[in-house]
Amino acid sequence: MKNNLYFVIPCYNEEEVLHETAKRLLVKLNSLIEKNMVSKDSRIVFVDDGSKDKTWEMIQKLNNENPHFKGVKLSRNRGHQNALLAGLMTVKKDCDLCISLDADLQDDIEVIDLFVQKYNEGCDIVYGVRKNRETDTMFKRGTANTFYKIMKGLGVDIVHNHADYRLMSKRALESLTDFPEVNLFLRGIIPLIGFKSDVVEYERHQRFAGVSKYPLKKMLSFAFDGITSFSVRPIRMVFWLGVVIFILSVIVMAYTFFVRIFGYTVTGWSTMFASIWALGGIQLLSLGVVGEYIGKIYKEVKRRPNFIVEEYI
């Protein structure tokens, strides 16, 4: 029995690239259908994440012209991870497997056949993993590698050089609903599902058109969310930093007492002021880390919805 494959593509202001993305994905889908790898009832689903351009109008037009295209319109912009989750949760009742990818055509769709083959071999999750980062700038390559090393060092089970290009079975999608988290970091959540998985390596292309929706500020925020959502080690580091500073203060007090007894003159104004500034900075940094965790707790206990679907065509 052939399986229903659904593509889920989050979109935010993608009018420049959407037609080309739709055309290439339709060719790929038809190819899979002709090879009897997936059902003719398979679909391509675009998720409009509150775009301000003509993205939704283009999705509606695609839907009118070809039944293989569907659209999910969110009530407002909720961010890439929430938009992706909205698409996955919307299609899980209709599909046997789904593949998520970005709309910018940087993910190599020619390896999708390998994704489906892995699924047929019994994998519930297949991760698209970049072979290298030669197309990235030195800064982006360095920061990305540092991020993955930090996540691994903090004990987070994350697939190296994997973004959100992945295949998930219906069973994996159903299991994803058991993670009702407000602070979403799907790259860390999905490995926790634990079903049989594998990887498919691919070469990442340059963006076909338009500009990236993930500037440096968003990338750093996304990375920090990932770290603080999956590990309490940063807050433990604050504790141990406090212990180290306390021990150093005891040593300094003992030293001060010693020099007073032996009549040495203590000048050290620069040292004193440097110490005050350093301790003040450490305290503010520590409060910031603690505050980040408290903020996440605040968001989780309110249980506000990750997304609201305004329309599904």
User: Are residue 281 and residue 196 in the same domain, yes or no?
Assistant: no
User: Are residue 133 and residue 261 in the same domain, yes or no?
Assistant: no
Residues 6+ apart with CB under 8 A from 196: 122, 123, 124, 125
Beta-bridge mates of residue 197: 125
Closest listed residue to residue 39, CA positions, set 7, 2, 68, 93: 2
Q: What is the pLDDT of residue 138?
A: 76
User: Are residue 61 and residue 157 in the same domain, yes or no?
Assistant: yes
Q: How far is CA 107 from CA 200, 202, 257, 312, in A?
A: 12, 8, 65, 25
User: Are residue 241 and residue 115 in the same domain, yes or no?
Assistant: no
Buried b (16+ CB within 10 A) or exposed e, 106-137: bbbbebbebbbebbeeebbbbbbbbeeeeeee
Q: Which domain holds residue 281?
A: 233-302
Whether residue 109 is contained in a domain is answered as: yes
Which CATH number belongs to the domain containing residue 90 in this structure? 3.90.550.10
**What residue spans of the chain are helical by DSSP H?**
18-34, 55-65, 80-91, 112-120, 138-153, 170-176, 186-189, 216-230, 233-261, 269-302
For residue 204, how many C-alpha atoms fall within 13 Å in the half-sphere facing its CB? 19
User: Are residue 118 and residue 249 in the same domain, yes or no?
Assistant: no
User: Are residue 55 and residue 194 in the same domain, yes or no?
Assistant: yes
Torsion of CA 181, 182, 183, 185, to 10 degrees: 50
Could you read off the pLDDT of 60-112 as tens digits, one per residue?
999 999 999 999 999 999 889 999 999 999 999 999 999 999 998 889 999 99
Whether residue 155 is contained in a domain is answered as: yes
- Interval 268-272 mean pLDDT: 61
Q: How far is CA 147 from CA 14, 152, 237, in A?
A: 27, 9, 17
> Residue 265's pLDDT band (boundaries 50, 70, 90)?
low
User: Are residue 190 and residue 278 in the same domain, yes or no?
Assistant: no
Give the whole-angstrom CA distance, residue 160 versus residue 149.
9
Whether residue 126 is contained in a domain is answered as: yes
At 144, list the tokens: 């990305």
Could you read off the pLDDT of 28-49 as tens digits, one per residue?
999 999 999 999 999 999 999 9
User: Are residue 65 and residue 207 in the same domain, yes or no?
Assistant: yes
Q: How many CB atoms lie within 10 A of CB 45?
A: 26
User: Are residue 285 and residue 194 in the same domain, yes or no?
Assistant: no
Whether residue 138 is contained in a domain is answered as: yes
Q: What is the pLDDT of residue 150?
A: 75
Residues 6+ apart with CB under 8 A from 300: 181, 182, 183
User: Are residue 125 and residue 17 in the same domain, yes or no?
Assistant: yes
User: Are residue 157 and residue 111 in the same domain, yes or no?
Assistant: yes
Could you read off the pLDDT of 304-313 as tens digits, one per residue?
788 899 999 9
Pairing relationship of beta strands 69-74 and 97-100 according to DSSP bridges? unpaired
Whether residue 111 is contained in a domain is answered as: yes
Pairing relationship of beta strands 162-169 and 97-100 according to DSSP bridges? antiparallel
Length of the chain: 313
> Residue 256's pLDDT band (boundaries 50, 70, 90)?
low
Whether residue 223 is contained in a domain is answered as: no
Query: Rounded to two decimals, what is the model's pTM?
Result: 0.75
Beta-bridge mates of residue 126: 167, 198
Largest CA distance in the chain: 92
The radius of gyration of the chain from alpha carbons, rounded to an integer in Å, stands at 25
Whether residue 127 is contained in a domain is answered as: yes
Identity of residue 87? G
- Interval 264-273 mean pLDDT: 59
Residues 6+ apart with CB under 8 A from 284: none
Whether residue 55 is contained in a domain is answered as: yes
User: Are residue 187 and residue 241 in the same domain, yes or no?
Assistant: no
- Domains held by the chain: number: 2
Q: What is the pLDDT of residue 206?
A: 73
